[in-house]
Chain A
Amino acid sequence: MKFEDSSQNLRARLRFIQALVVIVLGILGVRLYVLQVVRGERYAEIAENQRRRRLPIPAPRGVIFDREGRPIVDSRPIYNVILSREDVKDNKLADLTKPLAEGLALDVDLLKERFDQVTPAFESILVKQDATPNDIAWVEAHNLEFPELRVEQQPQRRYPTNGMLAHVLGYVGEISPEQLKQQSYKDKGLKPGDIIGQNGLEQIYDDYLRGRDGYREVVVDSRGRIQDEIETVAPIPGRDLVTTIDLDLQKSAEEQLATSVTKRGVIVAMDPNNGEIMALASFPTFDPNLFSQRINTKQGRAEYLALLNDPQTPLLNRAIQSRYPPGSTWKIPMSVAGLQQGAITLDHSNLVCGGGITIGNKFTRCMGNHGSPDLKTAITRSCDGYFYRLGLKMGIDGIVAMVDEFDLNKRTGIDLPNEVVSWTPSREFKKRMQPRDPDWRDIDTVYASFGQVYDIITPISLLRTIAAVGMGGKMYVPHLLKEVKAYGNQGNSDYLMAAGFKPLDPARPNPKVIPIPEDIHHLVVEGMWGVVNNGGTGAAIKMAGFDIAGKTGTAQVVGLGKDTGKNKDHAWFVSYAPAYKPEISLVALIENSGFGGANAAPAIRRVYDTYYRKTRHEEPPGAVQIAKKQTEPSQAVANIAQ
C-alpha cells in the first residue's frame, strides 16, 4: 500500500474487516449446523406434515333390513362443504364466518359456534351439510378467494319419514365433543366430524354398521390445493343388519297406536320361541331424519328443542324406558308362583273373593263379587279379592321370589340402549318410598299382589314374563338383531362371517329356564285362554281356531273415582297365541285410555289379524269390528271385573 501512513493503522483496520468477514460467515455456519444437523430431523418431519394431508373417504354405512329383507334404513350420497382449518390463519377464521354464512345461506351464530367448538386447531370443519347444487357452484366459483373450502361426498342416513320404528332404529349423528373425550370412543379411532350411531340399533350395532373410513393421502401446496396423490385406502363398508322386525306387523302396530284414544302407548310383538322382536311401536314417535339431516340448521335445532320439551315425550321409547303399574296382568306371574310355592295347589286353588278385603280398618275392594273362585276363574274374571288373599298367603318373600324368578327386577337385556329397570315390591323398596312408615305390612302385600303401588314395570319385561309362561318357563332375551350379514366373499382374507344375536351381557343365560311343572303351566294357560275364549275380560277379541291366551290389565294412575279425563287408567293387554303352541306374543299399553279389555285388547286383536293373514294366508276368523268409540260399553266391558 503505497499510500499508507502508519498513523492511521490502515493495515490493522483492513485486517479487522477481514476478520469480521470470517466471523459473520462463521456465525451463519454455526446457525446452519443447528438448523440442519441438530434439528434437521424434526424440521423435516414438520415440513412433511404440513404438505401431507389425509382426506377421509367415508365408509358407506350398512343398510338395516326387516326380517324379510325389506330395507328400512339406507343412505344416499350428499355433498358437504368442508373447511380445511390447517389452511386458515386463526385470525382469519372469524373473518370467514360472515362471507361463508352469506354465500352458503347459513346462520352466522351457528357457524361461529361450530368454529369455536372444534378443537384441536388442525381439523377439518363441516361448514354445511347436504349442500345444494347452488352451494357447490358457489364454493367452486370462490376457489381463489376461499381455497380452504372443499366439497366432499358423504353418505347421509335416510329413515322412514313418518317416524316408523324410530325408537328402535335410533339415529346417527356427529360425534359430540363430550364423546370425543371418552376413552371408549377414542379407542375406536373416532375423530371430530365422524358420524356414529347415537341411539337405538344404530348405536348398539354401530361397530358393525359404521365400517371403516378410507382415505386419500395427498400432497397439498401452501394454499391447500391438492398437487399429488400418494396413496388411496378404500373404505371398508359397514355391514348390513337384518333385524327381527316384520314391517307388516310393525305398520299394523303403529296404526293401532296412531288411532288410539290418546295416541300414546306401546305395542310390542315378540316370538316367544326365541325372543325375536317382530314389532316394537312406541307412540308418539319422531322423525330420526331430524338428527341425521337437519340438526345443524336453525330449524332443526328448534325442532329438537320442541321434541325435548314436548310433554308427550316423543323421544322416549316407552317399551323399555317407561314404567307402568301392570294392573291385573301381574296376576299371571302371581298365579305361577303361587302354585310353585304351594300357597295354592292344583286341586285346591279356591280362595274367597269377598268383594274385597279388610286389612285393619281399611277395605280394599274387588270390582265384582266372584264368590270363591278357583284359580282359572280368578284369572279369567280377573278377581282382585282372590289375588289379595293369594298374595297374603305367599307373603312378601314369596312375591320377591317370584320377581326374582321372572327377572322382573332386572333389565330384559334387549339390544337397545338405555333400557330401565322395573320397580318391584320389596321391603327395601318400601323403605325408600315411604321413609315415614318403613315397615312392610299386610296391606302392602295386598297392594303388591294386584299390580299397583309397588309394581311399576316396563312393557318389555311384562311381555317377556308372559311369553315365558306361555313357553312353560323358557324365558328368552328379547332382541332385534336377526343377523349381521356376511361381508365379502368366502375364501377372501377379508371375509367376515354372518353373526347372529348374542346377549350383550354374555353372562346372561338365553333362555333362562324357569322350572314350571307342566300341570301348573297348563292350569295358568287355561285361565289365560279363558280370558279371551271363555267369556273373560278379553272375550271381545276371540278368534275361532286361533286361540289367544291373554290377560287384561288396568293400571291406576290416580285413586279410584278420580280416574277420568287425562287421569284415566292405562289400559293393558298382554297375550300370546296360539295358547298351547305359542308363535307370537303381544303386549299393548294405551296410556290413559281406561279399561284394558276395552282399549288395549282390540288393538292387539288387529295386530293378530295382520299376523294371521300373513301366516295363514286367509282372513282371520271372526274378525269382530270393535267400535272405536270408547264411550259405548261393549259386551266385554260389562264382564270386566276390575
Chain B
Amino acid sequence: MVAIIHKRSWRDFDWILAFLAIAIVGFGTIQIRFAQPTETYWVKQIIGLGIALVAMLVVAFTDYRKLLTWAPAFYIFGLMLLVIVLVPGIGLKINGQRAWIKVPGVGQFQPSEFVKVTTAMMLARYFGRNRTQALTFKEMIVGGLILALPCSLILLEPDVGSVLTYIPILAAVLFLSAVRLRLVVAAVALAVVMIPVAYWVGVKTNLIKNYQQERINVILDPENADRRKIGYHTWQSILTVGEGGVFGSRSSAEHSQSGLKFLPEPHTDFIYAVTAENYGFIGCVFVLVAYAILLSRLITGARRSSDRAGMLFIMAIVGGFIFQIFINIGMALGISPVIGVPLPLMSAGLASLIATFIAIGFAISVQLRRFVN
C-alpha cells in the first residue's frame, strides 16, 4: 500500500500549492527579520516551518476520510486546549489576553489558531453527508453550536479578533451546504442595513465608547483622527505603507518605520506594512498575486474533491483565509479596524503557521484521493 501511495502520490501531489505556501513563509521570514532584526522571531519561524512541513506531509499522506471519522475526537481535544489555556500558570497572559500556552524551547503556542482546523474538520464531517435538499433549520443550529463552543471559550481569553475569524469558516460551510439563497441575501441585506443603524444607535446611546468610535473614525478619515492615541497604529501603518512608494523605501533598515519602532507589532499584525515599506507597490502586488494563486489552487482542489466533506473542509479553510487576509492587510492599509488578526503564512507565530500547513496538508490529502471510489 505504501508503494501505491508513493507512486501515485508524487504524481498527484499539489506541488504548486505546497511550494507557494513554503515560498510565502520564506518571504515572510525575511520580512520578520527586517521587522525585528534584534529578535529571534525569524529563527523560530524557520523552526516552525520545519515542524509545519512534517505535519503537512503526515496529514497529506493520511487518508483524510480516516481523519474526518476522528473529527469529534480532534474537536474535543481542541476544546480541551482552549480550556487549559484559561488556567493561570499554564496559559500565558499577554496584553490582557490569556491566549497562549508556554511550550518550553519553542516559545508560545496559541491554541485558538489550531482549533480552527479541528472546528473546520468537525463542520466538514457534520455537513459532509450527501444531501438532496436545502439546509434545514436544525442543521444550521447544530453548525452554529459546533462553532459556538470554541468561540465562547476563546471569548473568555478574551480574544474577539480570533473569534471573528471563526465566523467565515461556518459561513463558507453553510453557503456551500445549500443554505437557501434567499436566506443568504436576507442575511447580507440585514447586515448592510443593521451595521450602520446599530452603530448609530450605539453612538447615540453611548453603548459604543468614545475610543471605539475613534477606531472607526480612524478608518474613515485617518489623517484627521487622533493620530496619537487610538489612531496611532493605523496612522503609522499608513505612513509605513505610503513610504514604500512604488519600488520600496529609500531609507536604511535602521531608519525604517519598524526599525525605529514607529510601526507597532511589525512582525505580526503589521508584517504586510513592512513588506510595503521594503518592496513598495510592486512587492505588495506580488504578495497579493501569490495569495490569489494559493487560494485558487485550494478552490480548484475543493472542486475536484471526491466527496462533499473534503470539499467543505477545504472551502472552510479558504473562507477563514480570505477573511484573515482581508482583515490583516486591510489593517495595514487603514481600511479595517485594528483587531490583531495574523496574516496567514506571513505573520510570526508557531500555532498559526503549523495550523495553516496542517490545513494545506489536509487539502493535498483530499486532492490525492480524488480518483478513489
Question: With a CB–CB cut-off of 8 A, which chain B residues contact A28?
Answer: 288, 325-326, 329-330, 333
> Which residue among A20, A36, A228 has the maximum number of chain B CB atoms within 10 Å of its CB?
A36
The answer for the CA separation of A14 and B172 in the assembled complex, in Å, is 10
Known A1-B303, A89-B228; contact A31-B261, beta-carbon cutoff 8 A: no
Give chain A interface residues in 19-73, CB to chain B under 8 Å: 20-22, 24-25, 27-29, 31-33, 35-37, 39-44, 46-48, 50-51
Q: Are A31 and B335 in contact (CB under 8 A)?
A: yes
Closest A residue, CB atoms, query B255? A219
Question: Does B229 count as interface, using CB distance less than 8 angstroms?
Answer: yes
Q: Are B322 and A2 in contact (CB under 8 A)?
A: no
Q: Are A47 and B262 in contact (CB under 8 A)?
A: yes
Question: With a CB–CB cut-off of 8 A, which chain B residues contact A1?
Answer: 303-305, 311
Q: Are A21 and B299 in contact (CB under 8 A)?
A: yes
Question: With a CB–CB cut-off of 8 A, which chain A residues contact B74?
Answer: none
Taking the nearest CB of chain B, how far is it from the CB of A612, in angstroms? 70
Give chain B interface residues in 199-236, CB to chain A under 8 Å: 228-229, 236
The answer for the CA separation of A11 and B249 in the assembled complex, in Å, is 44
> Which residue among A32, A39, A40, A222 has the maximum number of chain B CB atoms within 10 Å of its CB?
A32
Known A3-B308, A35-B333, A228-B255; contact A8-B134, beta-carbon cutoff 8 A: yes
Question: With a CB–CB cut-off of 8 A, which chain B residues contact A22?
Answer: 292
Q: Are A36 and B335 in contact (CB under 8 A)?
A: no
Taking the nearest CB of chain B, how far is it from the CB of A39, in angstroms? 5
Question: With a CB–CB cut-off of 8 A, which chain B residues contact A310?
Answer: none
Question: With a CB–CB cut-off of 8 A, which chain A residues contact B311?
Answer: 1, 3
Interface flags, B291-326, vs A, CB<8A=1, else 0 = 110011001001111111001000100110010011
Q: Are A29 and B308 in contact (CB under 8 A)?
A: no
Q: Are B260 and A17 in contact (CB under 8 A)?
A: no
Question: With a CB–CB cut-off of 8 A, which chain B residues contact A358?
Answer: none
Question: With a CB–CB cut-off of 8 A, which chain A residues contact B295?
Answer: 21
The answer for the CA separation of A2 and B310 in the assembled complex, in Å, is 12
The answer for the CA separation of A43 and B330 in the assembled complex, in Å, is 18
Q: Are A3 and B242 in contact (CB under 8 A)?
A: no
Q: Are B130 and A3 in contact (CB under 8 A)?
A: yes
Question: With a CB–CB cut-off of 8 A, which chain A residues contact B325?
Answer: 24-25, 28
What class of interface size applies to chain A in its complex with B? 35 or more
The answer for the CA separation of A512 and B229 in the assembled complex, in Å, is 68
> Which residue among B236, B242, B285 has the maximum number of chain A CB atoms within 10 Å of its CB?
B242
Q: Interface of B with A (CB < 8 Å)? A: 130-132, 134, 172, 175-176, 178, 228-229, 236, 238-246, 249, 251, 254-255, 257, 260-262, 276, 280-281, 284-285, 288, 291-292, 295-296, 299, 302-308, 311, 315, 318-319, 322, 325-326, 329-330, 333-335, 373
Q: Are B176 and A222 in contact (CB under 8 A)?
A: no
Question: With a CB–CB cut-off of 8 A, which chain A residues contact B306?
Answer: 2-3
Question: With a CB–CB cut-off of 8 A, which chain B residues contact A31?
Answer: 330, 333, 335
Q: Are B302 and A14 in contact (CB under 8 A)?
A: yes
Q: Are B285 and A29 in contact (CB under 8 A)?
A: yes
Question: Does A113 count as interface, using CB distance less than 8 angstroms?
Answer: no
Q: Are B333 and A3 in contact (CB under 8 A)?
A: no
Query: Quick one: which of A10, A43, A90 contacts B242, CB cutoff 8 A?
Result: A43
Question: Does A493 count as interface, using CB distance less than 8 angstroms?
Answer: no
In the A-B complex, the 6 residue pairs with the smallest Cβ-Cβ separation, listed nearest first, are A43-B242, A40-B245, A89-B228, A8-B178, A221-B260, A36-B281
Question: With a CB–CB cut-off of 8 A, which chain B residues contact A182?
Answer: none
Q: Are B242 and A35 in contact (CB under 8 A)?
A: yes
Query: Quick one: which of B238, B261, B276, B296 contacts A222, CB cutoff 8 A?
Result: B261
Taking the nearest CB of chain B, how far is it from the CB of A86, in angstroms? 10
Q: Are B322 and A47 in contact (CB under 8 A)?
A: no
Q: Can you list 26 contacts pairing A with B, beta carbon distance less than 8 Å?
A: A1-B305, A5-B131, A8-B131, A8-B178, A14-B176, A14-B299, A14-B315, A18-B296, A24-B325, A24-B326, A25-B291, A25-B292, A25-B325, A28-B326, A33-B281, A35-B242, A36-B241, A36-B245, A36-B281, A43-B242, A47-B239, A51-B262, A219-B254, A219-B255, A220-B260, A223-B261
Question: With a CB–CB cut-off of 8 A, which chain A residues contact B239?
Answer: 43, 46-47, 50
Taking the nearest CB of chain B, how far is it from the CB of A37, in angstroms? 6
Question: With a CB–CB cut-off of 8 A, which chain B residues contact A8?
Answer: 131, 134, 178
Known A1-B311, A43-B242, A47-B243; contact A25-B288, beta-carbon cutoff 8 A: yes
Question: Does A361 count as interface, using CB distance less than 8 angstroms?
Answer: no
Taking the nearest CB of chain A, how far is it from the CB of B346, in angstroms? 14
- Majority DSSP secondary structure for residues of B touching A: helix
Taking the nearest CB of chain B, how far is it from the CB of A115, in angstroms? 16
Question: Does A13 count as interface, using CB distance less than 8 angstroms?
Answer: yes
Query: Quick one: which of A14, A43, A44, A91 contacts B229, CB cutoff 8 A?
Result: A91
Question: With a CB–CB cut-off of 8 A, which chain A residues contact B249?
Answer: 44
Taking the nearest CB of chain B, how far is it from the CB of A218, in angstroms? 11
Question: With a CB–CB cut-off of 8 A, which chain B residues contact A10?
Answer: 176, 178
Question: With a CB–CB cut-off of 8 A, which chain B residues contact A90?
Answer: 228
Question: Does A227 count as interface, using CB distance less than 8 angstroms?
Answer: yes
Q: Are A32 and B333 in contact (CB under 8 A)?
A: yes
Question: With a CB–CB cut-off of 8 A, which chain B residues contact A20?
Answer: 322
Q: Are B241 and A221 in contact (CB under 8 A)?
A: no
Known A21-B295, A21-B318, A24-B326; contact A32-B243, beta-carbon cutoff 8 A: no
The answer for the CA separation of A20 and B330 in the assembled complex, in Å, is 15
The answer for the CA separation of A20 and B251 in the assembled complex, in Å, is 37
Give chain A interface residues in 444-483, CB to chain B under 8 Å: none
Taking the nearest CB of chain A, how far is it from the CB of B345, in angstroms? 15
Taking the nearest CB of chain B, how far is it from the CB of A215, in angstroms? 18
The answer for the CA separation of A44 and B241 in the assembled complex, in Å, is 9
Q: Are B260 and A41 in contact (CB under 8 A)?
A: no
The answer for the CA separation of A221 and B256 in the assembled complex, in Å, is 10
The answer for the CA separation of A90 and B232 in the assembled complex, in Å, is 13
The answer for the CA separation of A144 and B333 in the assembled complex, in Å, is 31
Query: Quick one: which of B260, B296, B303 contacts A51, CB cutoff 8 A?
Result: B260
Question: With a CB–CB cut-off of 8 A, which chain B residues contact A89?
Answer: 228-229
Query: Quick one: which of B236, B257, B307 contacts A3, CB cutoff 8 A?
Result: B307
Give chain A interface residues in 218-273, CB to chain B under 8 Å: 219-223, 227-228
Q: Are A36 and B261 in contact (CB under 8 A)?
A: no
Q: Are A228 and B299 in contact (CB under 8 A)?
A: no
Question: With a CB–CB cut-off of 8 A, which chain A residues contact B134?
Answer: 8
Question: With a CB–CB cut-off of 8 A, which chain A residues contact B315?
Answer: 14, 17
Taking the nearest CB of chain A, how far is it from the CB of B162, in angstroms? 20
Taking the nearest CB of chain A, how far is it from the CB of B102, in angstroms? 26
Question: With a CB–CB cut-off of 8 A, which chain B residues contact A40?
Answer: 242-246, 281
The answer for the CA separation of A35 and B222 in the assembled complex, in Å, is 12
The answer for the CA separation of A14 and B299 in the assembled complex, in Å, is 8
Question: With a CB–CB cut-off of 8 A, which chain B residues contact A32?
Answer: 241, 276, 281, 284-285, 288, 333
> Which residue among A18, A28, A41, A222 has the maximum number of chain B CB atoms within 10 Å of its CB?
A28
Taking the nearest CB of chain A, how far is it from the CB of B82, in angstroms? 28
Question: With a CB–CB cut-off of 8 A, which chain A residues contact B318?
Answer: 17, 21
Q: Are A35 and B130 in contact (CB under 8 A)?
A: no
Known A21-B296, A24-B325, A89-B229; contact A41-B262, beta-carbon cutoff 8 A: no
The answer for the CA separation of A294 and B244 in the assembled complex, in Å, is 50
The answer for the CA separation of A626 and B299 in the assembled complex, in Å, is 116
Question: With a CB–CB cut-off of 8 A, which chain A residues contact B257?
Answer: 47
The answer for the CA separation of A48 and B251 in the assembled complex, in Å, is 9
Q: Are B242 and A42 in contact (CB under 8 A)?
A: yes
Question: With a CB–CB cut-off of 8 A, which chain B residues contact A47?
Answer: 239-240, 242-243, 257, 262
The answer for the CA separation of A17 and B276 in the assembled complex, in Å, is 27
The answer for the CA separation of A50 and B261 in the assembled complex, in Å, is 12
Known A25-B291, A35-B241, A40-B242; contact A13-B281, beta-carbon cutoff 8 A: no
Closest A residue, CB atoms, query B228? A89
Taking the nearest CB of chain B, how far is it from the CB of A544, in angstroms? 81
The answer for the CA separation of A17 and B299 in the assembled complex, in Å, is 8
> Which residue among A31, A47, A90 has the maximum number of chain B CB atoms within 10 Å of its CB?
A47
Closest B residue, CB atoms, query A24? B326
Question: With a CB–CB cut-off of 8 A, which chain A residues contact B333?
Answer: 28, 31-32, 35
Query: Quick one: which of A25, A29, A227 contacts B260, CB cutoff 8 A?
Result: A227
The answer for the CA separation of A11 and B305 in the assembled complex, in Å, is 12
Q: Are B288 and A36 in contact (CB under 8 A)?
A: no
- Other CB < 8 Å A-B pairs besides A1-B303, A43-B241, 4 of them? A3-B311, A8-B178, A10-B178, A227-B260
